[in-house]
Structure 1
Amino acid sequence: MNRISDPTAIQIGDEADWSREVPTTSWDPGRKLLRAIRRYQYWRGRKGLVAALARKYATLRHRFWSVMCGADIPLTCCIGGGLLIPHPNGIVIHPDVTIGVNCLIFQQTTLGIRDPYVGAPHIGSFVDIGAGAKILGPVTIGKRAKIGANAVVLNDVAPNATAKGVH
């Protein structure tokens, strides 16, 4: 599998705005879900009893916030810093998807595969993905691209381009 396992590896030349992921209120499910994922990933590479307990706690928090959000974002996916999911309901992300820094993903979005042997999408940095969009297969979404609401993306999208409808 040639997947990037370190989220910092996709930040080359791009600065992540980590303040976008800080919960702003006590009830901020999207940001709390991301925080649980980040905590798990922080403790994943460490050994010892404290790390094992911290991973279990982060996994429980991830499950709780996944249910509260109705989102399916795996603990092991590669997400660049500064991801913003203001309405996380119905977001589905395949474990092999890579997402660049400072992206915006709205509700009911699917980032997945079409064929299990072909590959998953790679989302560049600063990409905005509208509500209900589906990005499927081994496609690359260029830096600063915009994906319209309810778009179905099956081909690459150039940097700074906009995809709407079936692309």
Structure 2
Amino acid sequence: MIKVFRLASLLHRHGIPWLPRLLYGFNRIVFGIVLPPSVQVGRDVRFAYSGLGTVVHARARIGDRVKVAQNVTIGGRSGHHEVPVIEDDVEIGAGACVLGPVTIGRNARIGANAVVLQNVPAGMMAVGVPATVRPVRGQETA
């Protein structure tokens, strides 16, 4: 799945008109992931279960070593042109939604089924609907 995306992205950057769209369609049908060729995806990004049910906005940016579980939505929000930016070493739990002009900081964690509508600082955790930001367990400061 990620290799097909990388090829589609390379072709998209070089201005090939229809082949990236065909590869995008292949990923969507075979793996059940919506990952347009225009998405910026860093190195060593892992999509659990080959990205099953995952939807990523075409302008989103995903950093290096990010782990994305199944059924995750990384997308826009009505009334906002900006889309999420996921920085390096982030973990996103199953069913989570990261929506709108938000930045998820380095080493942050997004809990399963969380709906993130605000920025998550580096090293923090977001849980709940809507998500609230908390320190990662075991890393609380005194």
TM-score scaled by length of structure 2: 0.82
In percent, how many aligned pairs have the same letter? 33
What SS is found at the alignment partner of 1:74? coil
Kept in 2, the 8 Å contact 1:129–1:149? The answer is yes
> Which one has a larger percent strand, Structure 1 or Structure 2?
2
Q: CA deviation at 1:99?
A: 0.5
The whole-number CA distance in structure 2 between the counterparts of 1:145 and 1:62 is 29
What SS is found at the alignment partner of 1:157? coil
> Which one has a larger percent helix, Structure 1 or Structure 2?
1
Counterpart residue number, 1:39: 7
Counterpart residue number, 1:65: 27
Q: Which runs of 5+ in 1 are unaligned?
A: 1-32
Count of residue pairs brought into register by the alignment: 129
Q: Which runs of 5+ in 2 are unaligned?
A: 132-142
- Counterparts in 2 of 1:46 and 1:156: CA distance versus 1, 3 Å: closer
Q: Which has the higher contact order (CA 8 A, sep 6+)?
A: 1
Kept in 1, the 8 Å contact 2:120–2:126? The answer is yes
What SS is found at the alignment partner of 1:96? coil
Aligned match of 1:84 in 42, 46, 62? 46
Query: Alignment RMSD, CA only?
Result: 1.8
